[in-house]
A and B are shown apart, each in its own frame.
Chain A
Amino acid sequence: MLDRMLEVNKKRITKYKMSENLKHNMGGWLVMAPTLLLFAFFVWEPLLESVRLSFYSAKGMKLIEFVGFKNYIDVFRHPDFLPAVRNTFSYTIWSLVIGFLVPIVLAILINEMVHAKSLFRVGIYFPNVVPGLATVLMWGFIFKPGKTGVLNIILGQFGIEPMVWLSNPKLTIPLIVLTMTWKAAGATALIYLAALQGINPELYEAAIIDGAGIWDRIRHVTIPNLRNLARTLLILQVIAVFQILYEPLVMTNGGPNNASISIMQLVFKYAFEKFDYPKAAAVSVIISIFLISLTAVYNKFNKELDI
């Protein structure tokens, strides 16, 4: 009885070996199949569909006829388009100026801490737990002009007259970026922190033996080890900030006089204020072309640096 069972098993094994490659791959494909199907259904198909939509005229959501680049031309000619593009670049640049280094500094500081490390680790992540809308509403109260704004009340204690914040066209974008940084820096800092803890401690020991102080250790050990991660996070940040929508929408509605309108807000306006979905799709396609080319150029640049 036992012999026979073994025999059958042997037979199975040889059979299995014959098409092992195929079967091996089959398993892989089967594991991936659900994800692939879901991706195709929820991501790729809508993506292609919106490209198609941008070349048609529509009644509500029903496509009417092919109109070529008409939607794109209308979008380019719209008086809000240029300010929106300009502002979006401005958001991105400000977010790099204000926000890029903050998580790195936070991570290094926490990494160097001896006591209460976990407390600070949780602490910096906390703002990220607050829902996005709640964050911008809260900062809206803080930046409220007049005597009732939180920041103005605090400044009033030091005898400073109430000021306008978000409705000052020069301050709007930096202030909005500040609130975004407040919310998001903690999460990014945790990623850097993980990378920092992955750095081989022997490198630090060697540096100390060579007589390196804290600054030299950061300069010659920490930063080179973070560089690759920082490069990836930089482009991810650019992509994320490029799609900024709800912060200006809620805090300033794009004002004053288009000083903070973002390109995603144009999509929102076309889709949900005018029900003009083809033009909304056209703007989305323009955004993605911007981002794809930006990423391509950045990656090429990076590769050259690596060589």
Chain B
Amino acid sequence: MKKGILRLISLVLLLTMLSLLAGCAKSNTETAAPAATPEPTPEEITLKLGIWPEDTLADDIKMHENWVKTFNSKYPNVKVVPAYYKYATDTFVSLAESGNLPTVFETWYTEPQKLIEGGFVKDITAELKELGWDNAMNPTIRELLSKDGKIYGIPRDGYALGLMLNVELFEKAGLVDANGIPQYPKTWEELAQCAKTIKDKTGSAGICILAKDNAGGWHYSSIAWAFGAQMEALKDGKWVAQLNSPENVAAMSFVKDLKWKYDVLTADPTNEDWGTGFKALGTGEAAMYIGANDAVNQPTQVNKLDVKKLALVPLPAGPGGQYSLMGGTPYMFSAKATAEEVKAALNYIEVMGKAPVTTPESLAGMEDDAKNKVTAGIPVIPDFPAWTDPEFIKAKQEAISKNSNIDMALYNDYYEKLKQNGNLHLEEPKLTQDMYAELTKVLQAVITDKNANVQKLLDTANANLQSLLDSQVNK
């Protein structure tokens, strides 16, 4: 009797498991099928939009729904599927490998080369050539999105780092002129003094410096360049790390002074990353923060700073000059997308007013975008020129000035500076993220240890970076 029960149980278990396995197998083929056999009949193309806004942004969704209507009236054969995807390194590869990546998605400025290397994104050179967009792109940004002459993405917009100010804190500290425009620091030395004044008069931190992750090293490069540092150099065909140059030591010592001599930083820079920095700025915890024109929604829309109380000014100058780090936020395309799907995606981007054309749909897209920013309390400011088409730039400028919701006096100096020759600076070229990681470790050390030996720390960082360069670049 007992045996019988045992046998029965084992049989049931076995059957359950077989059906489980069968279930797995079945669902596997189901999900894999569309990726494996993409049969895009001309009448039916599915466009999975990873650039769809997230559920909470109702206004943005409404804007996109209108765009879809416009888009479908022109391209009725394309079925637009919202597939909101916020790029994240821990979800990306599994999505890509399982063939579930949206046709088009937005990623970070750091990622293109890595994604191209891994074969996750599609070469769209042919499609861009067909539309004539390949030469309308800002050449430096095109460089960021290309490998071996092939283009893998297009810019949503470009950015250049500047210094963001919380105007409320500047007013409280009495650092504004008769017109209420902040008297911002023109050099890093002035910045230290200015930050001190703000800290003394308002109790808020003068500036927010990042030291949690690689963004720390990224922001720091701007300071280092102003002090005259060049952190990587090509010598006799080999890449050489120069993190321990006297200029870089001076720049790092300056950051150390911000903490220990002036004491103007937020409570724990080793816990500040890109997002918390904007929070500190937006909520009045810090008066200054290194930020770019494409992130003005962060302090305002996201962290509720009054749209008129944000200013963006040039980064301070140092003994080595004045530079603005530039980059771009890219749109990239799933490696598994067909040429038709990519074209549909590009057409949709055109309707959004983000493509270098001035069709009526594109113009309406720009207008909608600007209006939406006004309702959401985001400063409507000029774009950084990611596309070079003059008519496109003019049309964009018109849409922006018509919907202006801020005093351009708070931004003019920044845009003027960018136009100067030699002001824009690209990131250091090789193993950039590893270099940032090394710099961030040094930042953490000098910010947490009053007696840190800057030269010694940078010597170690330099040796580390050099060994990485030797093993991965100078082969």
Contact = CB atoms under 8 A, between A and B. Distances in A.
Interface of A: 16, 23-24, 27, 30-31, 33-34, 37-38, 59-62, 74, 77-80, 140, 144-149, 164, 166-169, 252-253, 255-258, 272-275
B349 to A, nearest CB: 25
Contact of B118 (A60, A164, A167, A255): A60
Contacts of A34: 13-14, 16-17
B200 interface: no
A146 B445 contact: no
Which 3 residue pairs are nearest across A and B when measured between Cβ atoms? A146-B267, A30-B10, A79-B464
B194 to A, nearest CB: 21
Interface string B444-475: 11011100000001000001100110011000
Nearest to B11: A30
Interface in B76-113: 89-90, 92-93, 96-97
B378 to A, nearest CB: 28
Contact of B97 (A61, A78, A164): A61
A59 B13 contact: no
A61 B211 CA distance: 31
A31 B10 CA distance: 5
Contacts, number: 111
Contacts of A33: 10, 13-14, 17
B118 A256 contact: no
The A interface, classified by DSSP as helix, strand, loop or mixed, is loop
B32 interface: no
A172 B456 CA distance: 22
Given A79-B467, A273-B89, A273-B433, 14 more contacts: A24-B3, A27-B10, A30-B13, A31-B13, A33-B13, A62-B119, A79-B464, A146-B266, A253-B213, A255-B444, A256-B447, A257-B442, A258-B441, A274-B433
Interface of B: 3, 6-7, 9-11, 13-14, 16-17, 21, 89-90, 92-93, 96-97, 114, 117-120, 211-213, 266-268, 270-271, 433, 437-438, 440-442, 444-445, 447-449, 457, 463-464, 467-468, 471-472
Contacts of B268: 144-146, 164, 167
A257 B445 contact: yes
Nearest to A34: B17
A212 to B, nearest CB: 48
A74 B13 CA distance: 46
Contacts of A149: 267
A80 B438 CA distance: 10
A82 to B, nearest CB: 11
A59 B117 contact: yes
